[in-house]
Homo-oligomer: A and B are copies of this chain.
Amino acid sequence: MTEQLATNITWHEGEVSHAQRNQSLGQKGATLWMTGLSASGKSTIAVALEQVLLQQGKHAYRLDGDNIRHGLNKNLGFSAEDRAENIRRIGEVSKLFADAGILSIASFISPYTADRDLVRKLHEDAGVAFIEVYVDLPLEVAESRDPKGLYKKARAGEIKGFTGIDDPYEAPTNPELHLKTHEMSVEDSVRALLECLQDNNLLEA
């Protein structure tokens, strides 16, 4: 192996291209941007989708609150300015993953149209695919599920500026995919996402 490493080193002018990285991974890097209310099912669907893609030999990575809020964006709060910067940074990072050939699955409430549109534009300007996925669960259903007790706290005034309670959720008007998760199983949603990826020719290089 050392022999091989030592004798087989050549390269050309210029950088590895997005197309070459796609070719190497057998897919097209893209961002799947999952937006929706707290408790709408974004993370559950994203986790399942990542697993199913891996089974099919595809390469995905999830960006979510767990690996962003405690890391890259740990110095951001919840002011209007910080919320916009939160989504901008996530959009930039997701764009880098997509450029690297990865199917990047970003799941964040991302309630404002302007912020999502900015992320879409970042991707368009870089020539990488952006798939907006509206994870649509009626507020009353999300609130009745309330797995983390956040809606209850928001109603009690213990959390301020909570999306759907005292802060707006601006629903996407023209998303690439609209998942009505009140009427669909997680399996249905994953199937719809796979079909969307396939329809956009993202599952082959």
Interface residues of A (CB under 8 A from B): 1-2, 5-6, 8-12, 14-16, 20-21, 24-25, 47-48, 50-52, 54-55, 57, 59-63, 67, 71-72, 75, 85, 89, 92-93, 95-97, 99-102, 122, 187, 190-191, 194-195, 198
Partner of A93 from B72, B75, B102, B187 at Cβ < 8 Å: B72
Say whether, besides A2-B195, A48-B11, A191-B5, A122 and B71 are in contact (CB < 8 Å): yes
Across the two chains, which residue of chain B brings its CB closest to A204? B1
Contact assessment for A6 and B191 in the assembled complex, using a CB-CB cutoff below 8 Å:
yes
Across the two chains, which residue of chain B brings its CB closest to A85? B75
A selection of 11 A-B contacts at a CB cut-off of 8 Å is A1-B198, A11-B52, A15-B47, A16-B62, A21-B59, A24-B57, A25-B59, A59-B100, A67-B96, A71-B92, A89-B89
Alpha-carbon separation in the docked complex, A11 to B62 (Å): 16
For the complex formed by this chain, how many copies does it contain in all?
Answer: 2
- Closest 4 CB pairs between A and B? A11-B51, A61-B100, A72-B92, A11-B48
Instruction: Tell me the interface secondary structure of chain A in the complex.
Output: helix
Contact assessment for A67 and B198 in the assembled complex, using a CB-CB cutoff below 8 Å:
no
A15 CB, nearest partner CB in chain B, Å: 5
Across the two chains, which residue of chain B brings its CB closest to A104? B100
Contact assessment for B59 and A101 in the assembled complex, using a CB-CB cutoff below 8 Å:
yes
A134 CB, nearest partner CB in chain B, Å: 21
A21 CB, nearest partner CB in chain B, Å: 7
